[in-house]
């Protein structure tokens, strides 16, 4: 079995030399007189001389602004730092900036379960964005108005986002698989003026009509003045009887608006770009607001230097419109790259669907969650034997901690010369904190480095920096894509409580991280789902890696519950493969694996077989809600069914908490 930290890949000299990052370092030398011998010294400069670094990003990418900024950073404080004051920029303008050069080259390759693979050119994208933006202006939508979407991952949703952003409106999106309550909890907070909605979606070969859900959402949002209706499931379907409803087709069936006559609304440094929401598994989802200039600076850096994209690239990442990875996928347009959009089940009609799509579209950067990769690994899929992946250069795995086995699978089953990257960040930053650099080698299970401009460290509970030890992920200096605020958060109270309460003035993200002596990073899951065994804190990812290597185990979830008298109880819940029973022999083999691969303290107190593990809509295991339910919380306070990918799975844990005779540990024994 591959070992954590084992060297798996080293970049070829020509790969490293032609990378965007190497070109930027040469530019720094020629234009700033700065000579960095390696990535580590470049990173150190980027988090020490913060203003100089971000000024170089602005200049290197020639950001378009109505006027020069007066200063890069108002003051080095969190929260409250202002970036590029005095500037006036528009994020959508930069997304479409490559149109003039790329012309008829494909910008979108798009496939869904009810639409065949098709392509859209840069010229056509720009044309539709300008027409729709002009129509939105005619409808009275202007700067600061909220425009929301309940649409699948199709080009129309991307066009709607860019059109809204182009005129200074504030964008927010929910995926059509979200339940009515989940959507209302989000959109009611921000009082949208216009809703883009589709009639439904198809997933796993089954149609899900959404007209009834849209009707309920519209009724719950009195601020709505218009609904733009997309007949996606039924292309010939008529308009529903909704107030202020308009047809997508009619809005777009207008005279072209030439690029030279269209005006992008360039907005001030603190003008909201979009509102993204936390998962909302417990409590009301946080309405997180980012700015045009902050997201632009961060995404120019991220997509060029850490994703390694260029005009020759084609990026794919499996995502829905309800996850911030959809925003980052579209951010690839900042580099002139093409993007692959897929709407549907990633494993339908076969598990290799996404690899077929990657081959058909010439994908150079393939992205998915570790959960999907583990499915392929367990199915012993060998994409290299079936598909032409000659253009593939890199892999991005994001959404949860990746194991060494995940890395190893790509090299064995996909391609030997491959830049396999794990990247980790959050909705709050709409970016990554730790990720990839094309100048560095790849080690099994290891995130290559801290990203430029991200002053990331591992801290102990008392605020001491840790090396080669697991600690809290903190960011000790401001970064441009920090939320400018939460919507309707009076005095910034909830914002401060979310990130700055534990270490005042320091961003505490809520993840466990280990940073080794060479700068490599490991994420060990959420620190708010901490496992505490004999006074030692354990990240859940360590246990999952070991347990899910056991052949009979399909999935797992572990929590740690506090008992009176300072005691703890740690149960492990196992989804087993069909036909497998959780007998004493299997329990002992799992315990032995945990003792061998981890330590005796990683062995749970009890093991239980479950039908399925509950996940959020963005594919994260619901450790905290399950722990709360086991500790006696009512469901309505522990979790929202509408925020779950598989809401029926939580019922098992509710019954277990209420009925199990093997549940006496909840009270002191």
pLDDT digit string, tens, across residues 192-207: 999 999 999 999 999 9
Q: What is the C-alpha to C-alpha distance for residues 419 and 473, in angstroms, rounded to an integer?
A: 25
Question: Is pLDDT at 538 greater than 80 in this prediction?
Answer: no
* Residue 324 pLDDT class (50, 70, 90 cuts): very high
Least confident interval from 171-185, 310-324, 620-634: 620-634
Q: What's the whole-number mean pLDDT along residues 69-85?
A: 97
Q: What is the C-alpha to C-alpha distance for residues 255 and 639, in angstroms, rounded to an integer?
A: 48
Provide the 8-state DSSP code for 435: E
pLDDT at 483: 97
Q: Which of 426, 437, 329 is nearest to 110 (CA)?
A: 329
Q: Which residue has the higher pLDDT, 80 or 667?
A: 80
356 domain residue, yes or no = no
Helices then strands, each counted (H, E), the chain:
22, 37
> Whole-number mean pLDDT of the chain?
92
* Residue 225 pLDDT class (50, 70, 90 cuts): very high
213 domain residue, yes or no = no
Q: Please, which residues have CB within 8 angstroms of residue 248's CB and are 6 or more apart in sequence?
A: 156, 196, 228, 229, 230, 231
Q: In a 3-state reduction of DSSP, which class is residue 206?
A: strand
User: b/e for 120-149, b at 16 or more Cβ within 10 A?
Assistant: bbbbbbbbbbbbbbbbbbebebeeebbbbb
641 domain residue, yes or no = yes
Q: Please, which residues have CB within 8 angstroms of residue 183's CB and are 6 or more apart in sequence?
A: 150, 174, 213, 217, 642
Question: Is pLDDT at 629 greater than 60 in this prediction?
Answer: yes
111 domain residue, yes or no = no
Over residues 129-153, the pLDDT tens digits come to: 999 999 999 999 999 999 999 999 9
257 domain residue, yes or no = no
Indicate the number of domains in the chain.
Answer: 1
Over residues 646-664, the pLDDT tens digits come to: 889 999 999 998 876 554 4
* Residue 283 pLDDT class (50, 70, 90 cuts): low
615 domain residue, yes or no = yes
pLDDT at 667: 41
pLDDT at 563: 67
Q: What's the whole-number mean pLDDT along residues 177-201?
A: 93
580 domain residue, yes or no = yes
Domain that holds residue 598: 546-666
CATH number for the domain harbouring residue 551: 3.30.300.30
599 domain residue, yes or no = yes
Most trustworthy range by pLDDT among 19-28, 276-285, 363-372: 19-28
pLDDT at 57: 98
């Amino acid at each position: 079995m591959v070992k954590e930290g084992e060297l798996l890949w080293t970049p070829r000299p020509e790969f490293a030399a032609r990378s965007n990052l190497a070109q930027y370092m040469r530019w720094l030398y020629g234009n700033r007189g700065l000579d960095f011998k390696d990535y580590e010294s470049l990173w150190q400069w980027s988090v020490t001389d913060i203003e100089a670094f971000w000024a170089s990003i602005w200049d290197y990418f020639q950001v378009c602004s109505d006027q020069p900024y007066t200063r890069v950073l108002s003051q080095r404080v969190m929260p409250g730092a202002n970036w590029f004051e005095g500037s006036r920029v528009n994020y959508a303008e930069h997304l479409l900036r490559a149109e003039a050069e790329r012309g008829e080259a494909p910008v979108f390759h798009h496939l869904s379960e009810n639409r065949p693979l098709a392509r859209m050119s840069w010229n056509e994208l720009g044309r539709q964005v300008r027409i729709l933006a002009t129509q939105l202006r005619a409808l009275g939508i202007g700067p600061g108005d909220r425009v929301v979407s309940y649409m699948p991952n199709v080009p129309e949703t991307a066009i709607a986002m860019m059109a809204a952003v182009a005129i200074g409106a504030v964008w927010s999106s929910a995926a059509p698989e979200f339940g009515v309550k989940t959507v209302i909890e989000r959109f009611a907070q921000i009082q949208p003026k216009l809703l883009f909605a589709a009639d439904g979606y198809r997933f796993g070969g089954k149609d899900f009509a959404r007209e009834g859900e849209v009707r309920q959402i519209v009724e719950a949002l009195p601020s709505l003045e218009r609904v733009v209706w997309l007949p996606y499931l039924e292309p010939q379907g008529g308009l529903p009887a909704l107030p202020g409803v308009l047809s997508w087709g009619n809005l777009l069936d207008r005279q072209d608006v030439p690029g030279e006559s269209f005006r992008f609304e360039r907005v001030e440094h603190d003008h909201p770009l979009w509102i993204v929401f936390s998962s909302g598994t417990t409590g009301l989802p946080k309405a997180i607001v980012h700015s045009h200039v902050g997201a632009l600076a961060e995404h120019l850096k991220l997509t060029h230097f850490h994703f390694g994209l260029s005009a020759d690239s084609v990026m794919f990442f499996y995502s829905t419109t309800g996850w911030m990875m959809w925003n980052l996928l579209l951010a690839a347009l900042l580099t002139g790259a093409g993007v692959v959009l897929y709407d549907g089940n990633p494993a339908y009609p076969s598990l290799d669907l996404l690899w077929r799509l990657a081959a058909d579209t010439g994908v150079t950067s393939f992205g998915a969650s570790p959960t999907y990769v583990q499915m392929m690994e367990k199915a012993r899929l060998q994409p290299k034997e079936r598909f032409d992946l000659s253009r593939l250069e890199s892999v991005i795995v994001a959404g949860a901690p990746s194991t060494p086995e995940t890395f190893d699978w790509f090299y064995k089953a996909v391609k030997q010369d491959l830049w396999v990257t794990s990247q980790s960040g959050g909705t709050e930053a709409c970016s990554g904190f730790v990720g990839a650099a094309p100048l560095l080698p790849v080690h099994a299970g290891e995130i290559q480095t801290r990203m430029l401009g991200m002053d990331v460290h591992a801290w102990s509970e008392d605020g001491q920096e840790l090396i080669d030890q697991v600690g809290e992920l903190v960011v000790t200096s401001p970064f441009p894509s920090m939320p400018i605020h939460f919507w309707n958060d009076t005095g910034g109270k909830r914002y401060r409580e979310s990130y700055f309460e534990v270490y005042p003035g320091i961003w505490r993200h809520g993840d466990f991280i280990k940073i080794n002596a060479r700068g490599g990073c490991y994420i060990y899951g959420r620190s708010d789902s901490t496992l505490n065994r004999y006074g030692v804190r354990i990240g859940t990812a360590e246990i999952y890696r070991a347990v899910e290597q056991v052949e009979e185990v399909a999935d797992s979830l572990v929590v740690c519950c506090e008992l009176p008298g300072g005691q703890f109880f740690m149960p492990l819940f196992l989804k087993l493969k069909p036909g497998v029973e959780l007998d004493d022999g299997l329990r002992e083999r799992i315990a032995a694996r945990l003792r061998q691969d981890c330590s005796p303290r990683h062995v749970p107190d009890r093991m239980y077989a479950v039908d399925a593990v509950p996940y959020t809509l963005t594919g994260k295991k619901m450790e905290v809600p399950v722990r709360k339910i086991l500790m006696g919380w009512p469901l309505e306070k522990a979790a929202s069914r509408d925020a779950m990918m598989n809401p029926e799975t939580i019922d098992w844990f509710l019954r277990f908490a209420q009925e199990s005779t093997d549940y006496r540990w909840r009270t002191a024994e």
